[in-house]
Amino acid sequence: MSERKPGATRRAVVIGGFFAATIVTDPAQATPEQMRAAIRNVVGSASIRKGRVQLDVPPLVENGNTVSLVVAVDSAMTATDYVKTIHVFNERNPQPYVIAVHLGPRAGTARIATRIRLADSQTLTAIAEMSDGTFWSTSADVVVTLAACVEGI
Amino acid sequence: MARPLINVPVKVKRGETFEIKTLISHVMEPGYRFTTTGARLPRDIVTSFCCSYNGVEIFRADLSPAIAANPFITFFTVATESGTLEFKWTGDNGFSETAAATITVE
Amino acid sequence: MMALELLAAAGPARSADIPLDQRRSGYADLARDSKAMQDDDTVNPATLWVLDGEALWNQKASAADRSCADCHGDATVSMKGVAARYPAFSPAHNSPIDLEQRINLCRTEHQQAAPLPFESHDLLALTAYVGRQSRGIAIAESKDERLKPFIERGRELFSRRQGQINLSCAQCHDDNWGRRIAGALLPQGHPNGYPIYRLEWQGLGSLQRRLRNCLFGLRAELYALGSNELVSLELFLIQRARGMTIETPAVRP
């Protein structure tokens, strides 16, 4: 049995007849392993502690194209104790990164909001890198539904 | 296309933290979509956004295709002095957009 | 599947509109964050189009070197209530026209400018800007006798089964609103927020675009943008929503 890279498949399907076009499907979904690898890429070998981070995302989303996301971190944001970076990762979009924001003591409050895309129901993970080198994280599950009447044209 | 939409308070007390809301028009084509004939739509996204306050960078974001179209980003900063907030978006295909807002700190 | 079977077995749709006290805007069914998006112009992506529309309103258009403002002045005054009474009868066409067509009529007749293509950015921006001036205004009942046959045409289109799925608009949006189809909540389908920022489109679009999406879902033949069928449907729908307030530009999933 040939070895297959977990999660990443690339299939080329040739359709004959009128089209004769090649339809290539991308690795349409990343995997939890790819997300963990992306996290390791950012965090290195440091341990990640649970807590201090709040992820506010609707548990049930009416459309995965635009999902509101708020990330906040408990921090006094002083010159010596502040949030350096907030990273957000996903486990089922084609790639595991969502956003990375670079803050500093001038932020005053470590809280950002944005709107993201989610390809499927999945778990989001937010990781805060503090000025003292520690990493803190939290996760949230999101259920993504689709519109019934989509546009085919 | 529309200028970016920036929302900041007009006046803030010194030392207070205030929220900045930004919204820009951009398709944020993720690079994973295909046309009906199978041609892939190439990635075309905003990759970076930053804000400086009187010339000092106070916020920066690295965006991915997972950011929704018409990127909306809000963040906070401490009111230090009156002046100008400058915003810059850069992305694929040489995309570059800037905006500015003035703030009065009393 | 069972839901579709029930609908297929249902008889012809009732012709009575939903009573005013039961009329429900799509806004009521929005998730918390989508409601917040619509409620705040500074975070509503549709505002980007409204701002572009404002710029276009003041821009001199080609040969006649005349802007919308040159005739209509301040849109916040002159356009107030307009979207709440469109589609309106056009003597030039001897039929109703919608706001998009009215804007193009102004361009060709008074600005000597080329009409803007349907669903083009500029036409959507102008429609959104004009529509925005009617936000909060109630849709009035039409008293124009000339529109009556077209409203009836729209009602007929709304009530007849079509497409491979063989359902009528009425079967979902009159008889089964509030229930679910394929996991999605069925709205009553009122056009009081158009043009809308639709999350599915990740952009702003017109009511006609949305109606074509519905027809696509039914596997029915799509009426062309600007066709008499779509304008009659628009007219019927806005009258079906009379008494409700305009929310333009709304956010919808």
User: What distance in Å separates the CA atoms of residue A27 and residue A34, rounded to the nearest whole number?
Assistant: 12
Residue that the structure tokens 């989303």 belong to: A61
Considering only CB atoms, B62 lies closest to which of A21, A100, A111, namely: A100
Asked whether residue A136 is domain-assigned, the answer is yes
Which pLDDT score, from 0 to 100, does residue A29 have? 65
Interface size B-C, in CB pairs within 8 Å, comes to 37
Asked whether residue A33 is domain-assigned, the answer is yes
Axis crossing angle, helix C148-159 with helix C228-240, rounded to the nearest 10: 90
Containing H/E element for A72?
strand A67-73
Considering only CB atoms, C203 lies closest to which of B3, B5, B69, namely: B69
* CB pair distance less than 8 Å for A151 and C32: no
Range of the domain at C102: 46-132
Asked whether residue A22 is domain-assigned, the answer is no
Reported as a single tens digit per residue, the pLDDT across C170-223 is 999 999 999 998 778 899 999 999 999 999 999 999 999 999 999 998 999 999
CB C84 within 8 Å of CB C134: yes
> Domain B5-33+40-105 is in which class?
mainly beta
User: What distance in Å separates the CA atoms of residue C153 and residue C142, rounded to the nearest whole number?
Assistant: 15
Considering only CB atoms, A145 lies closest to which of C184, C209, C213, namely: C184
Q: What percent of chain C has pLDDT over 90?
A: 86
Are C96 and C166 in the same domain?
no
- The residue of chain C with its CA nearest to that of B29 is C202
Q: What is the mean pLDDT of residues B7-19?
A: 96
Query: Domain map of chain B by residue range?
Result: 5-33+40-105
Higher pLDDT, A19 or B5: B5
Which pLDDT score, from 0 to 100, does residue A11 have? 34
Measured CA to CA in angstroms, residue C181 lies from A54, C31, C171, C206, C217 at distances of 34, 18, 12, 23, 12
Q: Is the pLDDT of residue A5 over 50?
A: no
3-state secondary structure A121-132: CEEEEEEEEECC
User: What distance in Å separates the CA atoms of residue C152 and residue C233, rounded to the nearest whole number?
Assistant: 9
Axis crossing angle, helix C228-240 with helix C207-217, rounded to the nearest 10: 100
Are C148 and C35 in the same domain?
yes
Q: How many angstroms away from the CA of A62 is the closest CA of chain C?
A: 6
Asked whether residue A23 is domain-assigned, the answer is no
Are C58 and C112 in the same domain?
yes
Are C241 and C175 in the same domain?
yes
Are C153 and C50 in the same domain?
no
Asked whether residue A61 is domain-assigned, the answer is yes
Asked whether residue A18 is domain-assigned, the answer is no
Interface size A-B, in CB pairs within 8 Å, comes to 100
* CB pair distance less than 8 Å for C202 and B2: no
Which pLDDT score, from 0 to 100, does residue C10 have? 46
Are C183 and C241 in the same domain?
yes
B43's CB contacts (< 8 A; 6+ apart) are B29, B30, B31, B65, B92
Residue C69 forms beta bridges with which residues?
Answer: none
Which pLDDT score, from 0 to 100, does residue C183 have? 77
pLDDT tier, A4 (very low <50, low <70, confident <90, very high otherwise): very low
Which pLDDT score, from 0 to 100, does residue C13 have? 44
User: What distance in Å separates the CA atoms of residue C166 and residue C4, rounded to the nearest whole number?
Assistant: 10
Give me the number of domains chain A comprises.
Answer: 1
Which pLDDT score, from 0 to 100, does residue A24 have? 32
Q: In this complex, is the C-beta atom of B3 within 8 Å of any C-beta atom belonging to chain C?
A: yes
Q: In this complex, is the C-beta atom of B60 within 8 Å of any C-beta atom belonging to chain A?
A: yes
Structure tokens at C142: 């039409």
Reported as a single tens digit per residue, the pLDDT across C38-80 is 999 999 999 999 999 999 999 998 777 899 999 999 999 999 9
Asked whether residue C17 is domain-assigned, the answer is no
Rounded (5°) CA angle A131-A132-A133: 90
Q: Is the pLDDT of residue A30 over 70?
A: no
Q: Is the pLDDT of residue A26 over 60?
A: no
Q: Is the pLDDT of residue C16 over 60?
A: yes
Are C241 and C177 in the same domain?
yes
Range of the domain at A123: 29-144
Q: What CATH number corresponds to the domain at position A120?
A: 2.60.40.2470
Which pLDDT score, from 0 to 100, does residue C64 have? 73
Which pLDDT score, from 0 to 100, does residue A152 have? 58
Are C115 and C206 in the same domain?
no
Which pLDDT score, from 0 to 100, does residue A23 have? 30
Asked whether residue A79 is domain-assigned, the answer is yes
User: What distance in Å separates the CA atoms of residue C194 and residue C132, rounded to the nearest whole number?
Assistant: 9
Asked whether residue C199 is domain-assigned, the answer is yes
- Domain boundary pick from C132, C167, C191: C132
pLDDT tier, C20 (very low <50, low <70, confident <90, very high otherwise): confident
pLDDT tier, A17 (very low <50, low <70, confident <90, very high otherwise): very low
Q: What is the mean pLDDT of residues B72-97?
A: 97
Q: How many angstroms away from the CA of A148 is the closest CA of chain C?
A: 6
User: What distance in Å separates the CA atoms of residue C33 and residue C229, rounded to the nearest whole number?
Assistant: 35
Lowest-pLDDT range, A30-44, C41-55, C236-250?
A30-44
Nearest to C31 by CA among C243, C199, C164, C145: C199
What ipTM was reported for this prediction?
0.94
Asked whether residue C196 is domain-assigned, the answer is yes
Asked whether residue A19 is domain-assigned, the answer is no
Which pLDDT score, from 0 to 100, does residue A25 have? 36
Q: What CATH number corresponds to the domain at position C103?
A: 1.10.760.10
Are C171 and C213 in the same domain?
yes
Asked whether residue C152 is domain-assigned, the answer is yes
Give me the number of domains chain C comprises.
Answer: 2
Q: Is the pLDDT of residue C112 over 70?
A: yes
Q: Is the pLDDT of residue C143 over 90?
A: yes
Reported as a single tens digit per residue, the pLDDT across A88-135 is 999 999 999 999 999 999 999 999 999 999 988 999 999 999 999 999
Question: Which chain A residues are within 8 Å of C212, Cβ to Cβ?
Answer: 151, 153
Q: Hey, what amino acid is at C43?
A: V
Average pLDDT, chain C: 92
Are C147 and C215 in the same domain?
yes
Which pLDDT score, from 0 to 100, does residue C151 have? 97
User: What distance in Å separates the CA atoms of residue B24 and residue B21, rounded to the nearest whole number?
Assistant: 10
Which pLDDT score, from 0 to 100, does residue C1 have? 47
